[in-house]
Every structure is written in structure tokens, then in C-alpha cells.
């Protein structure tokens, strides 16, 4: 299968590296307006360099392409590729605007091509294991899910606020783990160190009996990426970075005290470190994308999924402003 990469920034470079190592895949081209960087990478990975996505599409004729350009360009680049009959994986968020995302989803269906969105945390092996635990009922009824995604401001991000850029990861993971979307949204966001965009937010999502809380910012001097899930049968702690997953099984009995009042007595919880086979999430994501293109099936994260997350993120911003 012939593949290409549009954009050779931080994420684009990793897409190029992985495609170049992937069996059954041939990296046929890289497109980037930065000719020096683009040509250097093309030489390193033994593929052709193109100045833009249209030239790559016309001359290299790829079957599938990763779109790793700035968010503000996602729509225009993706639209051209889809209309050209090329399946795409566009980095998150799917687009900057909900209407543009809706249009991409419509166009992909019309063209019969695959449209995947790079919500990479779904492919984290620890998240995948946690999903299986929740679906199996190991944690019981999920009452709350809490995520902290904080750290320093990334200077390379120039066209998205903290909600659109990184909170979307946890919004997508919440939807995926719970198998549903929030019924209500509220948030408080602000501008602490950056004047033109929100750089911190506290988000509260309700999922029909489950509370979802996300703390996200670009002002904490320590990088933290954690997820905590509480259920009636136990509690789980997940570290996105280390791919560590710990389960605490609740030990309790329901009884009545001497006055006839109902009480719950807790014993020492059973702590268990879940053994996870650590893998690079991006490799798993790209393998899933290529599988979908080959089979004509759906990727794990579809265009519709990306659209749903963008709608929620947009409502979060509106809620925080209101």
C-alpha cells in the first residue's frame, strides 16, 4: 500500500518514521512547505519530497495519507485529499470548526474513503486494558472518571486553545470507556499566561449517572497525564505516560447496626498492578488505519468520533465563557 505524510512537524516526523518501518506499506512521499526539512526527511527515509499535498497526490498517487498540518489547515488539506479519492488519518482535532468537520465526514462517505482521526490515547495499551475491565464489569457501575492533563505551554501550538488541543484526548477517552456521550456540560476556563487563548480549564461532564471531571492546563511546571476511575466494585489508576494501570478491588459488606440503620463496612482493598505489554500508541493507531483502508472497514476512531469530540469541546468553551 502506498502512503504519504503531509506535514513534518513533531507528529508528522513520527508518522514518517513508523510508516517507513511498517511491513506491507511503502512510504511514497512527504509534503511540507519547509523544503529544507522536507527534503532532509525524504532523503533519510528514501522517499520523494513534494512542496504541497496536491503535488504529492498527483505525482505519487498514494492510497492513504496522514494529515499532520496545523489545525487551521486540517479542513482544506483533508477536503482536497478526500475529493481525490485518498483515505486519510487527520491528526486531532479533526478540524477547527464543527461545520468543517461535518463537511469532511459527509465528503468521506460520498467518496467511499476512510476518514480516521488521531485521538491517539485510545490506542494506549493501558486504556485498552481498562476498557476491557469496564466492559467486563470488573469495576462495577462507574460513578466517576477523573483526568488530569497538565504541563507547560507548547510553543509550537499557535492556532488552538488548551481545550481544543489537549482536553479532546480525555473527552474522547471518556466517551470510549463509557460507551456514550455526555448529557450535560459545564466548565470554567481562562487565560493565565497567554492573552489570546484559554490556557487552563476545569471541565465537568455528566454521563447519565457517571460524573466526568477533566483538569487541563498549560501552566503546571510538571507534566502529568493520569486517569482515575471509580466504580461500585473498585477503583483504577492509569498513567498515560508510563502505561501503568493499578486496580483496587473494594471489599465491603452491607449490614445494619445495633440501631437498625443500614451501614456499609469496608475492609482493606485488594491492590493489583495490572501487567501491560507496553507499546507505542502511534504504531497501533497507524496499523489500525492501514487495516481499515485495506479491509474497507472502519478505523477505531472514525470521522464521526472526531466530530463528536469537537462538538463537545466547542460546547465546553461556550459554557466557560457563559
pLDDT score for 154: 85
SS3 86: coil
Long-range (24+ apart) CB contacts under 8 A made by 15-24 are 15/66, 15/68, 15/282, 15/286, 16/41, 16/45, 17/45, 18/280, 18/282, 18/283, 18/286, 19/66, 19/286, 20/45, 20/46, 20/47, 22/286, 22/287, 22/290, 24/290
Task: Give one word for 190, left, alpha or beta, with left for phi > 0 and alpha for psi -120 to 50.
Answer: beta
Give the CATH number of the domain where residue 143 resides.
3.30.360.10
* Predicted pLDDT of residue 196: 87
Stretches in the chain below the pLDDT threshold 50: 322
- 227 is in which domain, residue-wise? 122-279+309-321
| 127 and 240 co-located in one domain | yes
DSSP for 17-35, please give it. HHHHH-TT-EEEEEE-S-H
253 shares a domain with 130 = yes
Give yes or no: residues 24 and 148 share one domain. Answer: no
Residues 148, 254, single domain; the answer is yes
- Whether 194 and 261 share a structural domain: yes
Q: Please give the Cα distance from 283 to 317 (Å, whole number).
A: 32
Give the per-residue pLDDT at 284. Answer: 98
If asked whether residues 60 and 152 sit together in one domain, one would say no
Q: How many domains does the chain have?
A: 2
Q: Convert 100-113 to b/e letters by CB count within 10 Å (16 or more is b).
A: bbbbbbebbeebeb
User: What is the pTM assigned to this prediction?
Assistant: 0.92
CATH code: domain of residue 288: 3.40.50.720
> 167 CB contacts (<8 Å, ≥6 apart)?
149, 201, 203, 214, 216, 313, 316
**What's the pLDDT at 133?**
97
What is the reported pLDDT for 321?
A: 65
Amino acid at each position: 500500500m502506498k502512503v504519504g505524510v503531509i506535514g513534518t512537524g513533531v507528529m508528522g516526523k513520527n508518522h514518517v518514521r513508523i510508516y517507513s518501518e511498517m511491513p506491507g506499506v511503502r512510504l511514497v512521499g512527504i509534503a511540507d512547505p519547509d523544503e529544507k526539512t522536507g527534503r532532509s526527511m525524504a532523503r533519510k527515509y528514501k522517499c520523494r519530497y513534494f512542496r504541497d499535498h496536491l503535488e504529492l497526490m498527483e505525482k505519487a498517487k498514494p492510497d492513504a495519507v496522514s494529515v499532520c498540518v496545523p489545525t487551521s489547515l486540517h479542513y482544506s488539506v483533508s477536503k482536497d485529499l478526500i475529493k481525490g479519492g485518498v483515505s486519510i488519518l487527520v491528526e486531532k482535532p479533526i478540524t477547527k470548526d464543527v461545520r468543517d468537520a461535518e463537511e469532511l465526514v459527509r465528503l468521506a462517505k460520498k467518496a467511499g474513503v476512510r476518514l480516521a482521526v488521531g485521538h491517539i490515547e485510545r490506542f494506549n495499551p493501558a486504556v485498552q486494558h481498562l476498557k476491557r475491565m469496564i466492559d467486563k464489569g470488573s469495576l462495577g457501575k462507574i460513578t466517576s472518571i477523573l483526568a488530569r492533563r497538565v504541563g507547560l505551554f507548547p510553543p509550537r501550538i499557535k492556532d488552538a486553545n488548551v481545550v481544543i488541543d489537549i482536553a479532546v484526548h480525555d473527552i474522547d477517552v471518556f466517551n470510549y470507556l463509557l460507551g456514550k456521550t455526555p448529557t450535560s456540560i459545564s466548565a470554567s476556563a481562562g487565560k493565565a499566561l497567554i492573552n489570546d487563548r484559554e490556557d487552563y480549564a476545569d471541565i465537568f461532564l455528566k454521563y447519565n449517572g457517571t460524573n466526568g471531571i477533566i483538569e487541563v492546563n498549560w501552566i503546571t511546571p510538571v507534566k502529568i497525564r493520569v486517569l482515575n476511575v471509580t466504580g461500585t466494585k473498585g477503583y483504577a489508576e492509569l498513567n498515560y505516560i508510563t502505561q501503568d494501570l493499578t486496580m483496587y478491588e473494594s471489599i465491603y459488606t452491607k449490614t445494619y447496626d445495633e440501631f437498625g440503620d443500614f451501614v456499609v463496612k469496608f475492609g482493606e482493598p485488594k491492590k493489583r498492578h495490572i501487567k501491560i505489554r507496553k507499546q507505542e500508541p502511534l504504531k497501533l493507531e497507524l496499523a489500525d488505519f492501514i487495516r481499515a483502508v485495506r479491509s474497507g472497514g472502519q478505523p477505531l476512531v472514525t470521522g464521526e468520533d472526531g466530530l463528536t469530540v469537537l462538538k463537545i469541546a466547542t460546547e465546553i468553551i461556550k459554557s466557560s465563557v457563559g
